[in-house]
């Protein structure tokens, strides 16, 4: 436990999100209420009972703001409204109220690193250097060679600068040219977002997921990054990105001043402030979520590993002592291939994903499910001619529509889905799985129900009980123990006398008074109430 957590543990610092489970909704693909092929707010409203019955506590909804959709909503043209494709502000208010009635909170995605180039701020900025909103964005004169001001690379590949021919200056964009970066060194931008946060908090949101949380503030001198490898403008975007040591374009310490300010605002409303803290180094994550900044941040390493026990151990244990209850655990999201696909595909990948979620379940922090994970979904199949994602490695497979029912459109829409993909098998649908005893949905719902019966584990010390080697990963927090067999072989564990099993995957068997047999890719959660 880190020093801050130790101090917090002695005080009454438990917040509503401690001990909860979150659920990510990728709005375009969750549920379409009007047959236009695009998921919407009313569609989420109509599935709230499904989410409540599953047992999650809060729902993070991806951007629904007005947008040209150059990056599927992560290019915002109006931070205080709803895109007509997704509904209206009244629809949003109805969703928030209905969710609260079911014990759910709605969290919204805030995109503060950049806006859309269609935002009125940027359109005004383009009118010239003397415009009211010019300094809302990052502008610079050409470099000595007449090209970009420095060597910064966009995360989607290519230079992070685009020339505005009218003024002869470049504007900076960490992502697409249609996503110009905001200038967080301008106090006016800071004040704008104070108002934006309060706009949604006053409408009852439970908090915010901060997109690109590590990159808000840029180096004030716009210094070039050190080059640490060959850079090929035709290479994969990751290879381009990894050619540089990103000292000046991301992870600037001044970003924390913004997060501290937002935390104070969120604390007024008892709202959860969490970040897309895209870091795979434990210390780097800890630096992004100091105890006085955002309430939490996602740990991305589990989304980028192979199924190998030593790697699993490292990503599970690595950040705990540094970050503790500020962690968010997730096996997948809308930006990476679905975990069952990554972990071997088919039932093998599904079993491994469930095991990982059992391991997440009692660790310090908050686990989050990505929509459809509870159905055991692998990546959907998108025909080559139907691919839409602008990113070269493609994120379409993890974004295909949620399969609610058998038949055409899988119950997602009565029209043609925005992202064309092969129809899911009947047994992959929610209709086929809900209430079926051995379905993937029932296994996840059973896990979440079991978590609701456990003693409060917040700030309980974690002790690894597996010796640090072998295929079985096991730990204990207070009276609760978790064990998972990561291999295809049979392994046994012993539980304390008087302990009882709170949850187990189907292959777990009792093999003696205190002994459990864990068959291939099985996990168990037990509690000692003696």
The verdict on residue 237 lying in a domain is no
The verdict on residue 76 lying in a domain is yes
The verdict on residue 278 lying in a domain is yes
Mean pLDDT across 103-111: 98
Q: What is the pLDDT of residue 489?
A: 96
Mean pLDDT across 430-437: 97
Same structural domain, 377 and 429:
yes
Q: What is the pLDDT of residue 5?
A: 46
Q: What is the pLDDT of residue 529?
A: 87
Q: What is the pLDDT of residue 348?
A: 98
The β-bridge relationship of strands 105-110 and 58-61 is parallel
Same structural domain, 312 and 420:
yes
Asked if 401 and 421 touch (Cβ cutoff 8 Å), the reply is yes
The span from the CA of 321 to the CA of 319, in Å, is 6
**Domain boundary pick from 397, 419, 451:** 451
Domain harbouring 129, CATH code: 3.90.400.10
Summarize pLDDT for 201-255 with one digit per residue, the tens.
Answer: 999 999 999 999 999 999 999 999 999 999 898 888 889 999 999 999 999 999 9
Same structural domain, 163 and 312:
no
The verdict on residue 457 lying in a domain is no
Cβ of 468: how many Cβ atoms within 10 Å? 10
- What percentage of the chain carries pLDDT values higher than 70? 97
Q: Which has the closest alpha carbon to 143: 156, 127, 160?
A: 160
Strand partners, 92: none
Same structural domain, 300 and 283:
yes
Which residue is listed with tokens 């946060």? Answer: 197
Give how far the C-alpha of residue 137 lies from the chain's centroid of Cα atoms, to the nearest Å: 26
The verdict on residue 234 lying in a domain is no
Domain harbouring 335, CATH code: 3.20.20.80
Same structural domain, 395 and 306:
yes
Q: Calculate ∠ Cα 141-146-147, nearest 5°.
A: 85
Same structural domain, 271 and 298:
yes
The verdict on residue 155 lying in a domain is yes
Same structural domain, 349 and 480:
no
The verdict on residue 378 lying in a domain is yes
Mean pLDDT across 381-385: 92
Summarize pLDDT for 452-483 with one digit per residue, the tens.
Answer: 999 999 999 999 999 999 999 999 999 999 99
Same structural domain, 162 and 46:
no
Same structural domain, 290 and 428:
yes
Which domain covers residue 130, as residue numbers? Answer: 120-172
Same structural domain, 10 and 133:
no
The span from the CA of 491 to the CA of 182, in Å, is 54
| Alpha-helical segments (H) within 38-171 | 41-46, 48-54, 89-101, 120-125
Q: Which has the closest alpha carbon to 109: 181, 60, 41?
A: 60
Q: Is 11 exposed, middle or buried (0-12, 13-18, 19+ CB in 10 A)?
A: exposed
Same structural domain, 401 and 419:
yes
Strand intervals (E) in 459-504:
462-464, 472-477, 480-485, 491-494, 500-504
95-98: which pairs have CB atoms within 8 A and are 24 or more residues apart?
95/41, 95/42, 95/44, 95/45, 95/48, 96/203, 96/204, 96/205, 97/204, 98/45, 98/48
Coil, strand or helix at 286: helix
Q: What is the pLDDT of residue 393?
A: 63
Summarize pLDDT for 131-164 with one digit per residue, the tens.
Answer: 999 999 999 999 999 999 999 999 988 999 999 9
Summarize pLDDT for 32-46 with one digit per residue, the tens.
Answer: 999 999 999 999 999
Mean pLDDT across 252-264: 96
User: How many domains does one find in the chain?
Assistant: 3
Same structural domain, 429 and 497:
no
The verdict on residue 206 lying in a domain is yes
Domain harbouring 507, CATH code: 2.60.40.1180
The span from the CA of 412 to the CA of 27, in Å, is 12
On average, the pLDDT of the chain sits at: 95
Q: What is the pLDDT of residue 6?
A: 43
Q: What is the pLDDT of residue 392?
A: 61
Active-site residue list: 211, 268
Give how far the C-alpha of residue 301 lies from the chain's centroid of Cα atoms, to the nearest Å: 12
Q: What is the pLDDT of residue 434?
A: 98
Q: Is 373 exposed, middle or buried (0-12, 13-18, 19+ CB in 10 A)?
A: buried
């Amino acid at each position: 436990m880190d020093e801050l957590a130790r101090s917090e543990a002695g005080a009454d610092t438990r917040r509503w999100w401690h001990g909860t489970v979150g659920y990510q909704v990728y709005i375009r693909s969750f549920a379409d209420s009007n047959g236009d092929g695009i998921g919407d707010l009313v569609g989420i409203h109509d599935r709230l009972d499904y989410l409540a019955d599953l047992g999650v506590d809060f729902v993070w909804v991806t951007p629904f703001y007005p947008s040209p959709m150059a990056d599927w909503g992560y290019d915002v043209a109006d931070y205080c409204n709803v895109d007509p494709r997704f509904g209206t502000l009244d629809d949003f208010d109805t969703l928030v109220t209905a969710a609260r009635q079911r014990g759910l909170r709605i969290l919204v995605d805030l995109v503060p690193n950049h806006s859309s180039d269609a935002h009125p701020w940027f359109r005004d900025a383009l009118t010239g250097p003397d415009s009211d909103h010019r300094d809302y964005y990052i502008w610079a004169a050409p470099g000595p060679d007449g090209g970009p001001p420095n060597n910064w690379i966009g995360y989607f590949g290519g230079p992070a600068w685009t020339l505005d021919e009218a003024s002869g200056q470049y504007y900076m964009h960490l992502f697409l040219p249609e996503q110009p970066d905001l200038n967080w060194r301008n106090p006016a931008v800071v004040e704008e977002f104070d108002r934006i946060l309060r706009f949604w908090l006053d409408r009852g949101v439970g908090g915010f997921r901060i997109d690109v949380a590590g990159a808000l503030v840029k180096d004030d001198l716009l210094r070039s990054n050190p080059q640490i490898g060959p850079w090929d403008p035709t290479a994969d975007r990751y290879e381009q990105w990894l050619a540089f040591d990103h000292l000046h374009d991301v992870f600037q310490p001044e970003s924390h001043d913004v997060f501290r300010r937002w935390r104070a605002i969120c604390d007024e409303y008892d709202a959860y402030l969490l970040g897309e803290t895209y870091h795979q180094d434990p210390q780097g994550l800890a630096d992004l979520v100091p105890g006085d900044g955002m309430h939490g941040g996602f740990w991305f390493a589990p989304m980028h590993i192979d199924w190998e026990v030593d790697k699993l151990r490292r990503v599970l244990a690595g950040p705990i002592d540094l970050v503790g209850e500020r962690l968010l655990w997730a096996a997948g999201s809308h930006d990476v291939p679905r975990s069952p696909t990554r972990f071997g595909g088919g039932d093998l990948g599904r079993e491994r994903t469930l095991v990982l979620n059992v391991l997440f379940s009692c660790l310090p922090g908050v686990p989050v499910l990505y929509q459809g994970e509870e159905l055991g979904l692998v990546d959907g199949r998108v025909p080559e001619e139907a691919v839409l994602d602008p990113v070269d490695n493609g994120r379409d497979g993890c974004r295909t529509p949620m399969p609610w029912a058998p038949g055409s459109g899988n119950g997602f829409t009565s029209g043609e889905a925005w992202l064309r993909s092969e129809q899911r098998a009947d047994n992959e649908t929610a209709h086929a799985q809900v209430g079926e005893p051995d379905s993937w949905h029932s296994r996840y719902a059973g896990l979440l129900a079991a978590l609701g019966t456990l003693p409060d584990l917040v700030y309980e010390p974690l002790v690894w009980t597996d010796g640090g080697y072998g295929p079985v990963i096991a730990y204990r927090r207070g009276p609760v123990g978790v064990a998972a067999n990561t291999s295809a072989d049979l392994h046994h564990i012993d539980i304390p006398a008087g302990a009882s099993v709170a949850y187990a995957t189907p292959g777990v068997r009792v093999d003696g008074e205190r002994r459990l047999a864990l068959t291939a890719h099985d996990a168990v959660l037990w509690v000692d109430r003696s």
